[in-house]
């Protein structure tokens, strides 16, 4: 237990190519916002220009330059001594990890007094992102897991045998009173890129929207400008999540009083149930459906201003109630050892159910079966990203009533994680093929074959 007077010092492996004090002018600052109520934040990484200490409104930043993206804790020990900090003074390590790009830090056992959190980011559009990061985490002595996209939490919790805490989303609009917002014309908007080699569906949907509707193409902005723009000029915001992954791009437009248009969100995400029942959040399931929504929504919203404004306010208040406020979050992360319970409140029923299934699979069939199950999911996720319609073939629905086993439970749960995927038996597939449209972009995969030897 830390002494009350002991300074809270956070180590942040840092790979973003701007100085830490300029983080608000990037679109990555949301990864670090909850840490601002600690006393000292140490940013260590190869893009730091000058070793120095700078102060902001809340805390001090210490900046340490490393020789590369991969470094060990002893490598920065001498630099820390220049600021009168020893390794045992560090109370928290906040390590944002992706399958590529981010820092790899070795020898975490030297941080003897620190809570070491692996923050899993962007696992929804890279090849083999889960299994790659599981190996990284298991090779070091992390204490907790935190995922920016919470439907992936069960894979890491069971594979790494670590406790999971919810990602600390901060509401940047706590002082915004949507009841006092002036009526406005509801215009279509999209913020971001229209061409990306990894975001194929986003390219298709946004470019079709540009051709067929009066949508405004807004630039990809830094966090500060984007969050301000969402409130100063609210509109109908189009998003495309690719794999049903929810993140701040989905949440912030709602909190700021915008109407949201999105593709299906994973049922394993805590935001799913409200998104699919809200009258200010609209989900498209096909390209035709997307265009229809975008054509009809501006007229509807402008004709029903009081009604839609009330629905938007209800949505914003609902999500605000789900998040700890800025100061609650910052206090929790200042004393994380004493506040774990307050940081576990955003898991969905489907996510908890998947955790149970994976634990049973690991317990009954071993680590190799769990690893294979994750590899199959990663393969399916990659197909799901490339094809709007993924059909998975399995007799699991029939077998589950005869001989219940964790593999069939897992197969049945996959459609909860991959929102555009359909699970059919072979008989159902024959009927489906008879009734499907002539032009239909679909990928069919046999799950029973993939799981044959597990």
The torsion region of residue 424 among left (phi > 0), alpha (psi -120 to 50) and beta comes to beta
In a domain, 29, yes or no: yes
Nearest to 354 by CA among 267, 243, 241: 267
> Does residue 1 carry a pLDDT above 50?
no
Handedness of CA 34, 25, 227, 298 (dihedral sign): negative
Count the domains in the chain.
3
Q: Which residues of 97-121 are buried (b: 16+ CB within 10 A; e: fewer)?
A: bbbeebbbbeebebbeebbbbbbbb
In a domain, 298, yes or no: yes
- Chain segment 162-200, per-residue pLDDT in tens: 999 888 888 888 777 766 665 567 889 998 777 766 667
> Across residues 46-64, what is the average pLDDT?
92
The torsion region of residue 122 among left (phi > 0), alpha (psi -120 to 50) and beta comes to left
- Chain segment 212-225, per-residue pLDDT in tens: 888 888 888 888 88
- Chain segment 34-54, per-residue pLDDT in tens: 888 889 999 999 999 999 999
- Chain segment 347-366, per-residue pLDDT in tens: 788 888 999 999 999 999 99
Q: Which of 333-337, 341-345, 448-452 has the lowest mean pLDDT?
A: 341-345
The CATH number covering residue 103 comes to 3.40.50
> Does residue 400 carry a pLDDT above 50?
yes
- Chain segment 17-32, per-residue pLDDT in tens: 999 999 888 878 888 9
- Chain segment 287-314, per-residue pLDDT in tens: 788 889 999 999 888 888 888 888 888 8
SS3 (DSSP) at 446: strand
* Pairing outcome for strands 60-65 and 40-45: parallel
> Does residue 426 carry a pLDDT above 90?
yes
Say if residues 61 and 43 touch (Cβ distance below 8 Å). yes
Tell me, yes or no, whether 260 and 376 share the same domain. Answer: no
Could you please report the per-residue DSSP string of 3-43? -TTS--EEEEE---SS-GGGGGGSS-GGGTGGGTTSSEEEE
* Pairing outcome for strands 52-55 and 60-65: antiparallel
Rounded Cα gap, residues 420 and 263, in angstroms = 9
Tell me, yes or no, whether 189 and 248 share the same domain. Answer: yes
In a domain, 54, yes or no: yes
The count of C-alpha atoms lying within 13 angstroms of the C-alpha of 152, restricted to the half-sphere facing its C-beta, is 31
Say if residues 257 and 318 touch (Cβ distance below 8 Å). no
Tell me, yes or no, whether 108 and 155 share the same domain. Answer: yes
> Across residues 64-80, what is the average pLDDT?
96
> Across residues 95-110, what is the average pLDDT?
90
Give pLDDT, residue 309.
Answer: 83
Rounded Cα gap, residues 191 and 233, in angstroms = 13
> Across residues 95-102, what is the average pLDDT?
84
Tell me, yes or no, whether 318 and 329 share the same domain. Answer: no
In a domain, 68, yes or no: yes
What is the band of 117 on the pLDDT scale with cuts at 50, 70, 90? very high
Its domain, for residue 204, covers 178-322
> Across residues 241-254, what is the average pLDDT?
80
Give pLDDT, residue 422.
Answer: 92
The CATH number covering residue 231 comes to 3.40.50.2000
In a domain, 429, yes or no: yes
In a domain, 4, yes or no: no
Give pLDDT, residue 2.
Answer: 46
- Chain segment 250-297, per-residue pLDDT in tens: 888 988 889 999 988 888 888 888 888 888 899 888 878 888 999 999
């Amino acid at each position: 237990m830390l002494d009350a007077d002991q300074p809270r010092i956070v180590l942040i492996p840092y790979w973003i190519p701007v100085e830490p004090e300029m983080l608000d002018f990037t679109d990555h600052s949301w990864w670090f916002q909850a840490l601002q109520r600690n006393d000292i934040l140490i940013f260590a990484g190869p893009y730091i220009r000058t070793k120095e200490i700078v102060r902001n409104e809340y805390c001090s930043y210490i900046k340490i330059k490393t020789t590369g993206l991969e470094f060990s804790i002893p490598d920065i020990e001498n630099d820390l001594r220049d600021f009168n900090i020893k390794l045992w003074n560090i109370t928290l390590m906040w390590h944002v990890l992706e399958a590529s790009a981010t820092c790899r830090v070795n020898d975490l056992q030297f941080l003897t007094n620190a809570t070491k959190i692996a923050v899993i980011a962007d696992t929804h559009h890279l090849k083999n992102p889960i299994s790659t990061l599981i190996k990284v985490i298991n090779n070091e002595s992390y204490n907790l897991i935190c995922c920016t996209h919470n439907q992936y939490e069960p894979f890491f919790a069971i594979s790494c045998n670590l406790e999971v805490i919810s990602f600390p989303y901060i509401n940047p609009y706590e002082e915004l009173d949507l009841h006092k917002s002036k009526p406005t014309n509801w215009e279509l908007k999209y913020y971001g890129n229209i061409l990306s080699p990894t975001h194929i569906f986003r390219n298709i949907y946004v470019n079709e929207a540009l051709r067929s509707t009066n949508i405004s193409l807004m630039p990809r902005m830094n966090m500060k400008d984007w969050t301000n723009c969402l409130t100063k000029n609210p509109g109908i915001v189009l998003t495309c999540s690719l794999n049903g992954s929810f993140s701040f791009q989905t949440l912030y437009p709602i909190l700021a009083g915008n109407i949201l248009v999105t593709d299906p969100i994973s049922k394993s995400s805590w935001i799913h149930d409200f998104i699919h029942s809200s009258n200010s959040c609209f989900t498209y399931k096909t390209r035709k459906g997307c265009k229809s929504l975008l054509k009809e929504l501006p007229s509807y919203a402008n004709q029903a201003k009081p009604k839609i404004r009330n629905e938007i306010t209800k949505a914003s208040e609902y999500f605000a109630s789900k998040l700890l406020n800025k100061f609650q979050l910052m206090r929790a992360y200042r004393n994380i050892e004493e506040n774990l319970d307050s940081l576990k409140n955003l898991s969905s029923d489907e996510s908890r159910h998947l955790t149970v299934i994976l634990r049973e699979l690991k317990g009954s069939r071993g680590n190799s079966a769990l690893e294979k199950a994750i590899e199959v999911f990663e393969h399916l996720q990659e197909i799901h990203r490339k094809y709007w319609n993924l059909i998975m073939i399995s007799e699991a629905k029939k077998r589950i009533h005869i001989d219940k086993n964790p593999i069939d439970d897992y197969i049945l749960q996959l459609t909860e994680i991959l929102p555009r995927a359909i699970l059919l038996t072979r008989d159902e597939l024959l009927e489906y093929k008879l009734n499907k449209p002539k032009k239909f972009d679909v990928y069919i995969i046999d799950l029973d074959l993939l799981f044959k030897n597990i």
